[in-house]
Amino acid sequence: MNLEKRQTRVGNYELGRTLGEGTFAKVKYARNTKTGQSVAIKVLDKEQVIMHKMAEQIKREISIMKLVKHPNIIQICEVMGSKKKIYIVLELVTGGELFDKIATQGRLKEEEARKYFQQLINGVDFCHSRGVYHRDLKPENLLLDANGILKISDFGMSALSQQLKADGLLHTTCGTPNYVAPEVLNNKGYDGATADTWSCGVILFVLMAGYLPFDDPNLMTLYKKILQADFTFPPWFSSGAKKLIKRMLDPNPKSKGYTPAEFVEDEIIDLDDIDAVFKEEHLVKEERETKPAAMNAFDLISLSKGLNLSGLFDKQQDLVKRETRFTSMHPPKEIVSSIEAAARPLGFDVEKRDFKMKLQGANRGRKGNLSVATQVSEVAPSLFMVEMRKAGGDTLEFHKFFKNISHGLKDIIWKEEQADTTEITKVSK
């Protein structure tokens, strides 16, 4: 069967598969056709950005990323704009999220947790020295490169020191509930640096425990636990780790006499390219050409960690993270029909377009309705790859969804991989 897709070129970049998806943006794998460099490109719909009055937020996010150039922070390469899209070209980080590591193997040994924690603190301290406060630190926003080096990402909720009010504090309540500091919840103003420090303390606890220190399905009960710093250590925590985490998860951080880091206020950042993406001049062209959707080396590399393809279809690759994949020797139309038949009894509405599907959960979960993007691609004659990617909702709920739907797909999964692809790794409780 001849499946087709449309290949998009933007400026010097050839866009590949989607790596991630949010409410207003997609992150795509891309390759610079002149240098051969692989990058990640965050693609935003300009009309949606303007409609939701997010232009200033996007400009601030780009400005912040230009300001914080550090080995433990994901780097921005350039910014481009077309008539309809904004393209933010970023360093490609191929090792996945730190969240994935916890989800697949559970808690980390103290030595390994210490390594990641030290890199996290190095990056966060550098941000604070430049007057930047992240405000949404969590394992999902901590990426690992091919060498296991931690990279802080997603500065969409970040604030600059220039945003401090007359009282010297920030006042916007934001962040992910389980990781947010109590002073942020009090709605009386907070220090961005100490709020980030609290989040780092929660992250260290999660790395070593494999579960959250503060967790409850009822949001008000969760907030009460956070405000009171109501948590207990598991028995395997060392005394040193307990002491450090207890100091970081202090609901009254002012008692420690914190001294803010010094930062360079007059550092000059070139913002011309940021303003240009919202104007009708200096726009890049979007060029599309039709190609068979058979997966080529370019696509395979984007699926692998680094350039090592040996684990592309092995057991470890099938462990469910924010996305998972399996192969099938059944015809694509039969694969699509089987997924639809398995998803509907689980309470999912199905939208189909060629060999792409969107599965939308009817029930609201912890982070809204679960949404799963699915695509069938040809790997070789009579061999097809099925990718399922969380497009919205909670990652752990996506884990549960895949475990349930895999039972209904057992007849189409390539038999040699069937035992592996239906496994699910649980987060330690």
Catalytic residues: 136
Strands 142-144 and 150-152: antiparallel
First to last CA, the chain: 46
Three-state SS sequence of 353-411: ECCEEEEEEEEEEECEEEEEEEEEEEEECCEEEEEEEEEECCHHHHHHHHHHHHHHCCC
The answer to whether 64 and 126 have CB atoms below 8 angstroms apart is no
For residue 116, the SS3 value is helix
Neighbours of 80 (CB within 10 A): 20
The answer to whether 151 and 74 have CB atoms below 8 angstroms apart is yes
Strand partners, 9: 14, 287
Strand partners, 375: 356, 387
DSSP letter at 249 equals S
Nearest-10 crossing angle of helices 395-408, 332-343 = 120
DSSP letter at 141 equals G
The answer to whether 374 and 396 have CB atoms below 8 angstroms apart is no
How far, in Å, CA of 416 to CA of 337, rounded? 22
In Å, what is the CA distance from 92 to each residue of 39, 77, 307? Answer: 4, 10, 12
Backbone phi and psi for residue 261, each to the nearest 5 degrees, phi listed first: -70, 150
Which one-letter amino acid corresponds to residue 420? D
What sign does the dihedral 386-387-391-395 (CA atoms) show?
A: positive
